[in-house]
Amino acid sequence: MLKGYVPPYNATVVQKLLDKGAVLMGKTNLDEFAMGSGSTDGVFGPVKNPWSYSKQYREKRKQKAHGENEDSNWLITGGSSGGSAAAVAAFTCFAALGSDTGGSTRNPAAHCGVVGFKPSYGLVSRHGLIPLVNSMDVPGILTRCVDDAAIVLGMLAGHDPKDSTTIQDPVKPFTLPTFADVNKLCIGIPKEYLAPELSSEVRSFWSKAANLFESEGAKVIEVSLPHTSYSIVCYHVLCTSEVASNMARFDGLEYGHRCDINVSTEAMYAATRREGFNDVVRGRILSGNFFLLKENYENYFIKAQKVRRLIANDFVNVFNSGVDVLLTPTTLSEAVPYLEFIKEDNRTRSAQDDIFTQAVNMAGLPAVSVPVALSNQGLPIGLQFIGRAFCDQQLLKIAKWFEKQVQFPVIQLQELMDDCSSDFEIEKLSSVSLKQ
């Protein structure tokens, strides 16, 4: 729909970066209109995970018998901001922006071994961000370390008169001094996040991370978010309803793709949207319009809004009980091969992959995914920290401390050019590791 379209103005986050002297390298690929969890449905094709070509992953694959072509079954990046995560993971840029509506920054961050930060709703302007779900959309930040995420957040945070949802109060600098009060922390472990589909490796690293905090004197307790089981269905109803409303503006009249059919305005509309949207986008539009029908509105949309409030209240109750941050998985497993990923329906995949991240957006809370270790396959696994609303700096300080302890290994990218066989490697500092 928007292929080749050049907007007449910059998004606020982009303009703020330019004003600070940042060099913008370009735009990255993603799932079409940010609808997906694999970055496989973009108009420019799927995004390949740089770890598909890492020394760590390929050495593990050599140990196993397999018949497929090495280059035909590469790994997905996660989504929807997969291009941004891949660019950061491959050292193409210092940082990248994405959007986070239900986990679209944190999901690819976990699969690509980088930091993915979702700010509190209202801390960063949404002006210029193509809306998917206005009540949940947040510009996200992807970097290789927590300190870098804090630097970018410091440039972006603050009030924007063009976005009425942004905070009114001045924002203090997001500096991250060394966190020395781990023994004063209370870490919550949501029991509802122990999903049956959670891989044994992710579960193991989640447990080891909790033990790490406990060994340093932090209080680690099990907490309950009782309405978690309703979050997937609730998110689906609210997301598709707002998608249907937001996608209505793409009609071929003002900007974007326009079909040349001149039979009637209705025929032009239908042909334009049929050609301009892929099956995933059209499917969500249809679902949303169904929920917004007069006869369905009360039973679906209004009830989903009430459930959303219950989900948000669950977090409020936990934080009011004295918990400082929640520690959870980011994804169910490590990145999977593309050929395996496309076997399932996109909507099913999105619902499954975002089980740990969607509720955070519905509650408007800050969250960050931090890479913790490599799996037995040599692939990144990330864990998520969830904080109180507008306590983003405190959340990042804790994430930075954790990052320093685990010392996630740097990707070793093997050169793809035939005339170069050298490895691209950056030495990492030695420290505590959550090795299996």
104 as an active site residue: the answer is: yes
Residue pointed to by tokens 């932090």:
218
Q: Which two tokens stand for residue 395?
A: 């959340």
Residue, of 401 and 268, whose pLDDT is higher: 401
Residue 433 in domain: no
Residue 105 contacts by C-beta under 8 Å, 6 or more apart in sequence?
A: 81, 84, 85, 98, 99, 116, 117, 118, 140, 141, 142, 369
- pLDDT(388) > 90: yes
Once rounded to an integer, what is the mean pLDDT over residues 238-245? 94
Neighbours of 18 (CB within 10 A): 12
pLDDT of residue 414: 67
> What is the number of structural domains in the chain?
1
pLDDT of residue 345: 63
- pLDDT(419) > 50: no
Which tens digits make up the pLDDT trace of 254-308?
777 788 777 777 777 777 777 777 788 888 889 999 999 999 999 999 999 999 9
Residue, of 119 and 254, whose pLDDT is higher: 119
pLDDT of residue 64: 60
Instruction: Choose among 127, 112, 131: nearest CA to 158.
Output: 127
Q: Domain of 79: which CATH number?
A: 3.90.1300.10
Residue 259 contacts by C-beta under 8 Å, 6 or more apart in sequence?
A: 252, 268, 271, 272, 275
Q: Name the active-site residue from 37, 52, 81, 104.
A: 104
Query: Between vectors from CA 102 to CA 205 and to CA 106, what angle results, nearest 5°?
Result: 40
pLDDT of residue 38: 80
pLDDT of residue 431: 35
Instruction: Choose among 230, 363, 361: nearest CA to 307.
Output: 230
Instruction: Choose among 75, 127, 129: nearest CA to 105.
Output: 129
Which tens digits make up the pLDDT trace of 15-51?
999 999 999 999 998 888 778 778 888 888 899 999 9
Distance from C-alpha of 367 to C-alpha of 355, rounded to nearest angstrom:
14
Q: Which two tokens stand for residue 3?
A: 């292929």
Residue 434 in domain: no
- Tell me the pLDDT band of 433, cut-offs 50, 70 and 90: very low
Residue pointed to by tokens 């949940």:
136
Least confident window among 81-95, 162-176, 202-216, 393-407: 162-176
Per the prediction, the chain carries an average pLDDT of 88
DSSP 303-359: HHHHHHHHHHHHHHHHHHTT--EEEEESSSSS--BHHHHTTS-HHHHHHHHTTTTHH
Q: Name the active-site residue from 80, 81, 350, 375.
A: 80
Instruction: Choose among 37, 40, 51, 30: nearest CA to 380.
Output: 51
Once rounded to an integer, what is the mean pLDDT over residues 424-431? 39
Which tens digits make up the pLDDT trace of 200-213?
999 999 999 999 99
- pLDDT(436) > 70: no
Q: Which two tokens stand for residue 145?
A: 């370390």
Residue, of 301 and 422, whose pLDDT is higher: 301
Neighbours of 428 (CB within 10 A): 10
Distance from C-alpha of 332 to C-alpha of 309, rounded to nearest angstrom:
25
Termini Cα distance of the chain = 46
Per the structure, the complete domain to which residue 132 belongs is given by 12-424
Residue, of 312 and 57, whose pLDDT is higher: 312
Residue pointed to by tokens 């991250």:
176
- pLDDT(228) > 90: yes
Residue 133 in domain: yes
Which tens digits make up the pLDDT trace of 319-331?
999 999 999 999 9
- Tell me the pLDDT band of 428, cut-offs 50, 70 and 90: very low
52 as an active site residue: the answer is: no
Residue 432 in domain: no
Residue 431 in domain: no
The model carries a pTM of 0.90
Residues of the chain with pLDDT > 70, as a percent, come to: 91
Distance from C-alpha of 361 to C-alpha of 359, rounded to nearest angstrom:
5
pLDDT of residue 268: 79
φ and ψ of 117, to 5 deg: -115, 130
Query: Between vectors from CA 198 to CA 202 and to CA 118, what angle results, nearest 5°?
Result: 70
Range list of H helices, 135-230:
146-156, 200-215
Residue, of 161 and 36, whose pLDDT is higher: 161
